[in-house]
C-alpha cells in the first residue's frame, strides 16, 4: 500500500515520512519547496528522506490538478496525509493572496483528485488558529470557530472543503487541529526556533504581548504517533484536537530555553500584536477517547531535545 504525503519537506511532513519509512511503508512525497522560509532547511529534510528506497519525491504545487492526477494514476496511493499549506499568522496579514492559493485552492485540488481516485483515507492537518480568541477553556472541538487572520480563515475554509468533498463517499476522513507543534528540525518562523536563531546571532529577542501569551505546546513526535495510529484504527469523529492540554506562558518558556541554552540574550517586550491569539488551550479528551494509549511529552523534556538538536546541527 502506498501513502501520499503533501508538504513532505515541511516540519510535520518530514517527521511523519521518517516514521512511515522506519515502518517500511511506501511513501510518495509532494512539496513545492517554496521560499516562505529557508529552502535550505527543506532541502536538508528532503536529502535525509531521499536516501530511503521506499521514498519517491515529486516537486510540485498541489494546486496543479493535471500533474497531481497523473501521480495518483501511476502510484495509486490509498491513504493521503494533506499537510501542505501556507503557514504563518503574521505573514498572512501582509500577503493574504498566497494563503488563498496554497491553502484553499491546494486543498480543493488534492480533495478533488483524491475523490476521483477513490482513496481509502484522507487525513488533513489543520490548526488551532481556527478557534481564535475564546472565553471558555480548554477549547473543545464543539466550540464556535473565531478565526482572526487570513491564515486561520483559509484553514477553516479548507476544513469545510475536506468535509464537503468526502462526507457522502466511502473515503474515511479526519481533520486534526494541531496546537503549536514544536521539536527538532522545526520551522524557523515559529517562536522557539526564532528565539534559538536570535540567541545564536546575538540578536535581541522580541516577546509579543510582553511575553504574557499562553501556548499549548505539542511535541512533534507525539503528533506523529497519533497520525500513524490512523493507519490501523480510524476515529469516528471528523474533527479532533491534537494538544497536550497544558498551556504555558511565554515568559516560562523563555526561562526553560535559557536553562537549556546557557547563553546570555537580550529581550525586547512588545505590546499587543494584531492577529495574535492571547491564549491557546485545547481539550484532548476526544483525542484520548478516539485512540488508545495517547501520551504527551513534558515541555521540559521536549524543549531539552529540541535545543540539543539545534546545538548539534544549527537548525
CA dihedral 35, 37, 88, 84 (to 10 degrees): 60
- Tell me the residue range of the domain where 126 lies: 2-183+217-246+281-297
Sequential pLDDT tens for the chain (315 residues)? 999 999 999 999 999 999 999 999 999 999 999 887 778 999 999 999 999 999 999 999 999 999 999 999 999 999 999 999 988 776 677 788 888 999 999 999 999 999 999 999 999 999 999 999 899 999 999 999 999 889 999 999 999 999 999 999 999 999 999 999 999 999 988 889 988 988 888 888 878 777 788 999 999 999 999 999 999 999 999 999 999 999 999 989 988 988 887 777 778 887 776 666 788 999 999 999 999 999 999 999 999 999 999 988 888
Residue 83, in any domain of the structure: yes
Within-domain flag for 190: no
Task: Give the global pTM.
Answer: 0.95
Q: Is residue 205 in some structural domain?
A: no
* Residue 16: inside a domain: yes
For the chain, what is the domain count? 1
**Domain-embedded: residue 307:** no
Asked if residue 266 belongs to a domain, the reply is no
Residue 70 forms part of a structural domain: yes
Q: For residue 195, is it within any domain? A: no
Question: What positions carry a catalytic annotation?
Answer: 151
Q: What is the CATH number of the domain that holds 72?
A: 3.40.50.720
Amino acid at each position: 500500500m502506498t501513502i501520499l504525503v503533501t508538504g513532505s519537506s515541511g516540519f510535520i511532513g518530514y517527521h511523519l515520512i521518517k516514521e512511515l519509512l522506519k515502518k517500511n511503508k511506501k511513501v510518495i512525497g509532494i512539496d513545492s519547496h517554496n521560499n516562505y522560509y529557508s529552502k535550505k532547511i527543506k532541502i536538508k529534510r528532503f536529502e535525509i528522506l531521499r536516501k530511503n528506497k521506499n521514498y519517491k519525491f515529486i516537486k510540485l504545487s498541489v494546486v496543479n490538478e493535471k500533474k497531481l492526477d497523473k501521480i495518483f494514476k501511476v502510484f495509486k496511493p490509498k491513504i493521503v496525509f494533506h499537510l501542505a499549506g501556507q503557514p504563518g499568522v503574521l505573514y498572512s496579514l501582509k500577503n493574504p493572496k498566497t494563503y488563498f492559493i496554497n491553502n484553499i485552492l491546494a486543498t480543493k485540488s488534492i480533495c478533488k483528485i483524491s475523490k476521483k481516485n477513490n482513496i481509502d483515507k484522507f487525513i488533513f492537518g489543520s490548526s488551532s488558529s481556527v478557534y481564535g480568541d475564546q472565553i471558555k477553556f480548554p477549547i473543545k472541538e464543539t466550540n464556535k470557530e473565531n478565526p482572526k487572520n487570513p491564515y486561520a480563515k483559509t484553514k477553516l475554509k479548507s476544513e469545510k472543503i475536506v468535509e464537503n468533498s468526502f462526507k457522502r463517499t466511502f473515503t474515511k476522513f479526519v481533520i486534526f487541529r494541531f496546537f503549536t507543534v514544536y521539536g527538532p528540525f522545526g520551522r524557523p518562523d515559529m517562536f522557539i526556533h526564532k528565539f534559538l536563531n536570535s540567541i545564536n546571532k546575538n540578536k535581541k529577542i522580541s516577546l509579543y504581548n510582553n511575553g504574557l501569551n499562553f501556548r499549548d505546546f505539542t511535541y512533534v513526535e507525539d503528533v506523529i504517533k497519533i497520525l500513524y495510529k490512523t493507519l490501523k484504527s480510524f476515529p469516528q469523529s471528523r474533527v479532533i484536537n491534537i494538544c497536550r492540554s497544558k498551556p504555558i506562558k511565554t515568559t516560562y518558556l523563555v526561562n526553560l530555553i535559557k536553562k537549556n541554552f546557557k547563553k546570555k540574550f537580550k529581550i525586547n517586550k512588545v505590546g499587543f500584536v494584531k492577529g495574535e491569539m492571547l491564549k491557546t488551550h485545547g481539550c484532548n479528551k476526544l483525542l484520548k477517547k478516539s485512540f488508545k494509549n495517547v501520551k504527551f511529552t513534558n515541555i521540559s523534556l521536549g524543549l531539552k531535545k529540541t535545543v540539543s538538536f539545534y546545538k548539534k546541527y544549527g537548525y
